[in-house]
Amino acid sequence: MGKKRQVKRQYKKAGLPPGTLVHIGERKLESVRITVIDYDESSFREKQVSNIEDCFKFKTTPTVTWINIDGLHDVNIIEKIGKHYDFHPLVLEDILHTGQRPKFEDLDSYIFIVLMMLRFDDESQAVLSEQVSLVLGRNYVISFQEDVGDVFEQIRDRLRNAKGKVRKMGSDYLMYALLDAIVDSYFGIMEKLGEKIESLEEELVNDPTDRILKQIHNLKREMIYLRKSVWPLRELISGLERSESDFIQETTNVYLRDVYDHTIQVIDTVESFRDMVSGMLDIYLSSISNRMNAVMKVLTIIATIFIPLTFVAGIYGMNFEYMPELKWRYGYLTVLILMLVITGGMLLYFKRKKWL
Amino acid sequence: MGKKRQVKRQYKKAGLPPGTLVHIGERKLESVRITVIDYDESSFREKQVSNIEDCFKFKTTPTVTWINIDGLHDVNIIEKIGKHYDFHPLVLEDILHTGQRPKFEDLDSYIFIVLMMLRFDDESQAVLSEQVSLVLGRNYVISFQEDVGDVFEQIRDRLRNAKGKVRKMGSDYLMYALLDAIVDSYFGIMEKLGEKIESLEEELVNDPTDRILKQIHNLKREMIYLRKSVWPLRELISGLERSESDFIQETTNVYLRDVYDHTIQVIDTVESFRDMVSGMLDIYLSSISNRMNAVMKVLTIIATIFIPLTFVAGIYGMNFEYMPELKWRYGYLTVLILMLVITGGMLLYFKRKKWL
Amino acid sequence: MGKKRQVKRQYKKAGLPPGTLVHIGERKLESVRITVIDYDESSFREKQVSNIEDCFKFKTTPTVTWINIDGLHDVNIIEKIGKHYDFHPLVLEDILHTGQRPKFEDLDSYIFIVLMMLRFDDESQAVLSEQVSLVLGRNYVISFQEDVGDVFEQIRDRLRNAKGKVRKMGSDYLMYALLDAIVDSYFGIMEKLGEKIESLEEELVNDPTDRILKQIHNLKREMIYLRKSVWPLRELISGLERSESDFIQETTNVYLRDVYDHTIQVIDTVESFRDMVSGMLDIYLSSISNRMNAVMKVLTIIATIFIPLTFVAGIYGMNFEYMPELKWRYGYLTVLILMLVITGGMLLYFKRKKWL
Amino acid sequence: MGKKRQVKRQYKKAGLPPGTLVHIGERKLESVRITVIDYDESSFREKQVSNIEDCFKFKTTPTVTWINIDGLHDVNIIEKIGKHYDFHPLVLEDILHTGQRPKFEDLDSYIFIVLMMLRFDDESQAVLSEQVSLVLGRNYVISFQEDVGDVFEQIRDRLRNAKGKVRKMGSDYLMYALLDAIVDSYFGIMEKLGEKIESLEEELVNDPTDRILKQIHNLKREMIYLRKSVWPLRELISGLERSESDFIQETTNVYLRDVYDHTIQVIDTVESFRDMVSGMLDIYLSSISNRMNAVMKVLTIIATIFIPLTFVAGIYGMNFEYMPELKWRYGYLTVLILMLVITGGMLLYFKRKKWL
Amino acid sequence: MGKKRQVKRQYKKAGLPPGTLVHIGERKLESVRITVIDYDESSFREKQVSNIEDCFKFKTTPTVTWINIDGLHDVNIIEKIGKHYDFHPLVLEDILHTGQRPKFEDLDSYIFIVLMMLRFDDESQAVLSEQVSLVLGRNYVISFQEDVGDVFEQIRDRLRNAKGKVRKMGSDYLMYALLDAIVDSYFGIMEKLGEKIESLEEELVNDPTDRILKQIHNLKREMIYLRKSVWPLRELISGLERSESDFIQETTNVYLRDVYDHTIQVIDTVESFRDMVSGMLDIYLSSISNRMNAVMKVLTIIATIFIPLTFVAGIYGMNFEYMPELKWRYGYLTVLILMLVITGGMLLYFKRKKWL
């Protein structure tokens, strides 16, 4: 998956002064899409803007503003936001250099969060990831995504329809809702992977082929990758919880604790899956051994029965002048019966050895 | 086991506002059963109510009240309780979304505990789990179970008959008694699994088949699942012990410490079992290798003896005109004796190699 | 070993009120034996009493009293002691429910310790365990054992003969001496196991059989069990050291530190043994592979030499009318020489392949 | 790689008084090269000096001075620097004894850092390392390298062209920039290794040979070595961050935190690679088993078909006088048909067993 | 190695009162050798004494005294020192019971250190160990060794010739110098083991025999033993560093930190070696599999070619009266050509399968 890409990305950067704004990552869509949602308990506005400056007027309003940017390749836009909201150059760098390790940073006047939005691609049967960066200020949340399409649609609906608590709460609750949506979406990935494991396990038992070995191996890599995305989340969220930032209210902590619990559950599941996948490899290896054993048994049974018989036939195929048996009336019959007796004895022996 | 189910459950939720009350899990029984036990040292009342509102009058009484709810599918009931007892929406969500990780939360006016009640199903030879949620308030305990049937029957008896200390103590002691009953029931599971391991080990040594491999694999999964249920208990109980909640009395801490010790013992046993199960896989693999070895030896012995003999017979089956041996009076006898000598030599060689 | 038993024991208890006094464990001897040793620097009394009440008068004397109880099946006696010395019901339960995890508890007016006395049974070649519970009060130590026979005989001798420091010191030093004797006895077990490992290793290299695999497996289980008994000791003793109990004097801490060092040494040795036993399994597996390899080589050499020869013989056993070679004067000789050449070539090939 | 060398180096030292200045390591270049860069926001000077004393005048200037020494074999130079800048003898020793574990030491008047500059050598396909020692004082940084050629060229460019922040900041920022360049260069190594792993994985699946096994093994060793170089970095940088040294300014900490994040990312990647390489070994082993299986199948099919046929031919090659079949008109044809039937049956059997 | 011995030693002690002075260990030399070195910056005296009392006069002098005792079997001498210098009985016991775990104890008026002096024995190719106990007092160091011969000779030289700092510093610096010499000597062992690993690795690839398996196994045991000796050193030295003993001066801490770094480096190397040795076992196992594979291929090729040919020959060896081919003029030639064709086909098939 994204492993190779991620490494390459960082490589390009080596040597540049820190805070140099270059987008490192795949360009995933044509043009950057900017959407603003501005709300408080009584009002709600949503629009798509083509000019980032159109968003800036919301900064001073007391309402909560959520600016969502899809597409990171236009460094200019990111830079303007950075200047207007006074972000540290390294924060901008982290937003642009996708492939970051999930992390949380409290920079006094705003909180910066990077994490991974995961998606199970049914076609390639792989987990795809997209970096999501969130900046939480006193009354705004700015989210940066690599591509259009996310797991936040239901949050937008709730905002539009004033459903749930979200319209009544501040920007910190919005940030929590976004985090929650991402972590909850992991359960879907887990389910897909769980099904994959289960179907693979069944195949494994019935028909262990090379293809399955490769699939187990892929699954293992998928797990390694998932682990890298999910483990740091634990630290991230407990960091958020402990942070003494002004704009995270006491009441939001209960919700963060809930996301934390879900994260632990995801981590537990990933670890269980890892254990299961290792178990599958053991099964695969012993299935192969078992197969080899079966093949060997057939060979041994056939060879063990016929080799002595062929020898007997060989004896009476010799051309010695003085071989009295050859002249006997029932020599041929006797030999045939002898062969039957040998065969019977062999079969009995195999039965006792439980090879048949 | 419950792995797949659990993941699916959570998936359905993704995107909904937090605290949305939907029952996620299998509906295990027809109708919800509510029982109330209300007692102090001198009085005892027990009844089954059909209407949750009938329980609410007990809230203000100084006696200890234990409300037990079997069945979570009627969201309405849970919601009413939540409203009456003023539970946080996320607590209600955790009660309804079964498959939670065992945890403990101190919410000032009440304490919330989720854990797993396990049962060994003799038929499917698997460990089945049921989520039990406990809410402890100043003078009440409310327990939520997925299904009728639990390990609390003896506690009810003790309450009815005023046996033991339980009638003399507060709601915290009742909660302890419930926890203790659940943890103690784990020992029964451990025993069953221990027996299974032992019987499997015996079979393994006598007759390592594919079926046993599958059983070892199942056992391993069972262990992974058990671990997930049992490990968090440690944290849960030590959290309870350290909690500075008003309604957990000093004297109860000794008892919690005892449950803690039992939990550690269960964890130790699970870890030992894991070690043993891995050990069994090693044995299985080497048993297979040993079998293959045995098969190979038989093949080799038979082939090694008869191939040279057949060759000798082949020699004298050749049709050359000038083969003096064929004319000899004792040619045939000589060859037969030669063959016996070869066979003897081979057998001696195998004896020395310890193949026979 | 004691695994199955231990689990069963606990099972019987499930559901009973905590502190119910039932002996859970094997009844190892006919009748309970109670011995009292009462001493100070100048006086020494030792007697075996049949009635537990006879010990109680020693409680108020300023001399140090050591009451030793062998046999736990008479719950009555334990209960009387508990009442007289005012022990918590859970302490009595822990004494009676053998199979406890080693632990230490400071209950203000006395200190409670549970640990395992181990014994290597030469006959069954297994490590047997007996639970020893110690209660340390201001001027008394009460020890509970499952069976007659212990590692304390030399301490008794020292007390009788006023050898060493033990008569000059308080009850805490006596408790230390008992702990020390138990931990030191572990070194004997280690030695026995070390010898077993060494002898097994030698056999393993010379003649890897199924029996050895089983023995390695048993050793592994023994290690798992030992670990469970020994690891908690570390915590136990460091807990004792840190405890701020009144009746553990400063000067005793140096001695406890010494026992602690020994415990760590035992733990280190157990871990080393575990590593070695795993190493042995690796060796076993590769020895088997090596054997299979050797068998295969013999088969291959025999088959590879004789199959072509038999083919040649087969050629000249054909009955075609026009086979000029058959008429040649030296046809037979030529063929024999040809066969010798083929054999020589094969042998040379095997030599170069290092199969011979 | 450097393993053997490193151990030898230290060995030579054993017994010498601490702080004895001997260069331990390979002499990698002819003569020591000393370069000085002296700058502040407005001025910039860069020159190569042949005499170390020429650098000393910069010590007292308020401008930031960066002295870079390539080549450690001239102990004299190192000693002079040490005397002039008042370095502790053990610091000088650590500079000279290459093969140190990366570490950070705060010695009040200066900070000493040792770390590894890594380079992927395309020819030998191995990671080569060079020890870089940095000493940070109030307004100077002195860097010691084993050889000419480093990853700092872009920093020099930025200094020359007054690009980025580096000219505006103090010596601590310069040190950060050097650290950052080294850590960033690790990403390049990771990329190369990632590619190697990927190409090896492809080969592995297509054609598992002995050569690949050796390459996997080498990769594993490379990982062990990398880990040893990278893990201590984590501690090093978090130590720097926490250090309360006067000349590390508050503002630099954000940058150090960034390097820290990168280090964690490198460590994560190394660990993932380790996991992948172990996975590759598993695949290799099962590929071999699979191959053996395939070979065995071919052998078994051939043998199982022809051995019975040969036996039948053997029967009718016997020389009995009374073998009625031999006289039959269609005896021969019948036998040939019989043989065809046997072959057909066998093939069907193999088809059902999925061997064909 | 010393494993078995070490366990036996301790066993003898079990039951004796603590502090009983018995030498437990091998008696390695005839008579005890006592050497005293007494020095300050200006004076230096060195002599070998036959009577331990001769050393006692140095106790009160302000000069630093280093008493070195080679040989522990004369308990009397140890006891006299203990009495004169007022050592705790358990300290004396630890000195005499060789095979202790490395540790450090601060007993206020003196510091007690036990550690292992290791030596690589070229003959047995094993690491041999000797326990060294150091007692550091205000102005003395007493060292106890099991045998004559140590790694301190260069320190003695430095003392004699007033080289380095050692004559100018106190007893704590002397203790540091001794520790440093021991830890530095470990690097030599590491080098030897590294060479052994390297040479074994080469052999392994070229010719994997049983003997190499045994050597890998021995190396593994060596590593287990080394680990046990080296790991506790880390704790020991960091304990020394943190200790607030009066007679360890501030300036010495820098030096202790240096020894600490070396210890970590040794530990790192031991861990890397362990990883490498496990890797070697994997290689060994797959080499064996590869060999078996090669053997199987040869067998299969030979059998697969000749079995069908032999069958054809068998056909025409049948004695049917009506076999028209037998009468054909070119029957024999045709059959020979047919056989060549079959052989060619087979060879082509093997080529395509890459078996040739």
Neighbours of chain E (3+ CB pairs under 8 A): C, D
A304 CB neighbours in chain B (<8 A) are 298-299, 302
pLDDT at D14: 56
pLDDT at B221: 85
d(CA D24, CA A309): 75
The average confidence (pLDDT) of chain A is 86
| Helix or strand (DSSP H, E) at C116 | strand C111-121
pLDDT at D4: 37
ipTM of the complex: 0.77
From the list D164, D198, D254, the residue facing A17 with the nearest CB is D164
- Single pTM value for the model: 0.82
The distance of D302 to chain E (nearest Cα, Å) reads: 6
Phi-psi region of A53 (alpha: psi -120 to 50; beta: other; left: phi over 0): alpha
C162 CB neighbours in chain E (<8 A) are none
- CA torsion sign for E170, E172, E174, E177 is negative
pLDDT digits (tens, 9 = 90+) for B85-126: 999 989 999 999 888 889 999 988 899 999 999 988 888 888
DSSP H helical ranges for E207-249: 210-242
pLDDT digits (tens, 9 = 90+) for B295-352: 888 888 888 888 889 888 888 888 888 888 888 888 888 889 999 999 999 899 888 8
Please answer yes or no on whether D322 and A316 come within 8 Å at the CB atom: no
From the list D154, D187, D300, the residue facing A298 with the nearest CB is D300
d(CA D110, CA D133): 13
Question: Please, which pLDDT band fits residue A16 given cuts at 50, 70 and 90?
Answer: low
**pLDDT at position D277 over 80:** yes
At residue E74, what are phi and psi to the nearest 5 degrees?
-90, 90
d(CA A144, CA A131): 8
- Candidate from A2-11, A174-183, D272-281 with smallest mean pLDDT: A2-11
pLDDT at D6: 41
Please answer yes or no on whether E191 and D15 come within 8 Å at the CB atom: no
Would you state the structure tokens that stand for residue A147, as one six-digit string? 């591509």
Strand D103-106, strand D64-70: pairing: unpaired
Quote the radius of gyration of chain C (alpha carbons, Å).
34
Does residue D58 or residue E110 have the better pLDDT? E110
- Reference D143, options D55, D48, D69; nearest CA is D69
- Reference D70, options D34, D36, D24; nearest CA is D34
C-alpha pair distances (Å), D171 with each of B145, D38, D41, D190, D220: 65, 11, 12, 29, 39
Question: Please, which pLDDT band fits residue A5 given cuts at 50, 70 and 90?
Answer: very low
Please answer yes or no on whether C330 and B321 come within 8 Å at the CB atom: no
At residue E15, what are phi and psi to the nearest 5 degrees?
100, -25
B213, B214, B220, B224 alpha-carbon torsion, rounded to 10° = 160
pLDDT at C13: 56
d(CA D33, CA D72): 10
pLDDT at C111: 94
C-alpha pair distances (Å), B107 with each of A219, A248, B84, B103, C186: 41, 19, 16, 13, 48
Q: How far apart are the first and last CA of chain C?
A: 48
Side-chain half-sphere exposure of A162, counting CA atoms within 13 A? 8
From the list C268, C283, C323, the residue facing E101 with the nearest CB is C268
At residue B337, what are phi and psi to the nearest 5 degrees?
-65, -45
Q: Tell me the percentage of chain D whose pLDDT exceeds 90.
A: 34
SS3 for A51?
A: coil
pLDDT digits (tens, 9 = 90+) for E200-233: 888 887 777 778 888 888 888 888 888 888 999 9
pLDDT at E16: 67
Residue A123's CB: how many other CB atoms inside 10 A? 5
Q: Tell me the percentage of chain D whose pLDDT exceeds 70.
A: 96
Q: Which residues contact A209 (CB under 8 A, 6 or more apart)?
A: none
| Buried-state track A293-331, b at ≥16 Cβ within 10 A, e below 16 | bebbbbbbbbbbbbbbbbbbbbbbbbbbeebebbeeeeb
pLDDT average, residue stretch B287-300:
82
d(CA B227, CA E339): 65
pLDDT digits (tens, 9 = 90+) for C287-338: 888 888 888 888 888 888 888 898 888 888 888 888 888 888 888 888 899 9
**pLDDT at position D2 over 50:** no
pLDDT digits (tens, 9 = 90+) for A326-354: 888 888 888 889 999 999 998 998 888 88
Question: Please, which pLDDT band fits residue B16 given cuts at 50, 70 and 90?
Answer: low
E163 CB neighbours in chain D (<8 A) are 17
pLDDT digits (tens, 9 = 90+) for D93-141: 999 988 888 999 998 889 999 999 998 888 888 888 999 999 999 899 9
Please answer yes or no on whether B188 and C318 come within 8 Å at the CB atom: no
pLDDT digits (tens, 9 = 90+) for D26-75: 777 778 999 999 999 899 999 999 888 888 888 888 899 999 999 998 89
Please answer yes or no on whether A220 and D258 come within 8 Å at the CB atom: no
The average confidence (pLDDT) of chain E is 86
The average confidence (pLDDT) of chain C is 86
pLDDT digits (tens, 9 = 90+) for C34-73: 999 999 989 999 999 988 888 888 888 889 999 999 999 8
Displacement of CA A48 from its chain's centroid (Å): 32
d(CA C356, CA E325): 43
Question: Please, which pLDDT band fits residue C179 given cuts at 50, 70 and 90?
Answer: very high
**pLDDT at position D143 over 60:** yes
Please answer yes or no on whether E210 and C290 come within 8 Å at the CB atom: yes
Displacement of CA B117 from its chain's centroid (Å): 11
**pLDDT at position A2 over 70:** no
**pLDDT at position A218 over 90:** no
In eight-state DSSP terms, residue E100 is P
Give me the residues paired with residue E134 across strands: E113, E143
pLDDT at E2: 37
Please answer yes or no on whether D4 and E314 come within 8 Å at the CB atom: no
| Buried-state track E171-205, b at ≥16 Cβ within 10 A, e below 16 | bbbbbbbbbbbbbbbbbbbbbbbbebbeebbeebb
pLDDT digits (tens, 9 = 90+) for C113-172: 999 999 888 888 888 899 999 999 989 999 999 988 889 998 999 999 887 788 999 999
**pLDDT at position D320 over 60:** yes
Residue of B nearest to A265 (CA): B101
Would you state the structure tokens that stand for residue A334, as one six-digit string? 């006797």
**pLDDT at position B245 over 90:** no
The distance of C18 to chain B (nearest Cα, Å) reads: 8
The average confidence (pLDDT) of chain B is 86
- Candidate from A164-173, B113-122, C201-210 with smallest mean pLDDT: C201-210
Strand C64-70, strand C140-145: pairing: parallel
From the list A282, A290, A314, the residue facing B288 with the nearest CB is A290
pLDDT digits (tens, 9 = 90+) for A262-314: 999 999 999 989 888 888 888 888 888 888 888 888 888 888 888 889 888 88
Would you state the structure tokens that stand for residue A98, as one six-digit string? 């996708």
**pLDDT at position E123 over 60:** yes
Chain length of chain B: 356
DSSP H helical ranges for chain B: 3-13, 53-56, 75-85, 89-96, 153-160, 171-206, 210-242, 250-315, 324-327, 331-352
C-alpha pair distances (Å), A322 with each of A212, A312, B314, B319, D334: 63, 17, 17, 16, 31
pLDDT digits (tens, 9 = 90+) for C1-22: 333 334 444 444 555 677 777 8
Query: DSSP per residue over B191-203, as a string?
Result: HHHHHHHHHHHHH
d(CA D198, CA B325): 67
pLDDT digits (tens, 9 = 90+) for D154-195: 899 999 988 878 899 999 999 999 999 999 999 889 988 988
**pLDDT at position A11 over 80:** no
Would you state the structure tokens that stand for residue C195, as one six-digit string? 């010898």
* Residue D209, amino acid: T
Quote the radius of gyration of chain E (alpha carbons, Å).
34
d(CA E312, CA E318): 10
Question: Please, which pLDDT band fits residue D84 given cuts at 50, 70 and 90?
Answer: very high
**pLDDT at position A3 over 50:** no
pLDDT digits (tens, 9 = 90+) for A61-108: 889 999 999 999 889 999 999 999 999 989 999 999 888 889 999 988
The distance of C49 to chain B (nearest Cα, Å) reads: 32
The average confidence (pLDDT) of chain D is 86
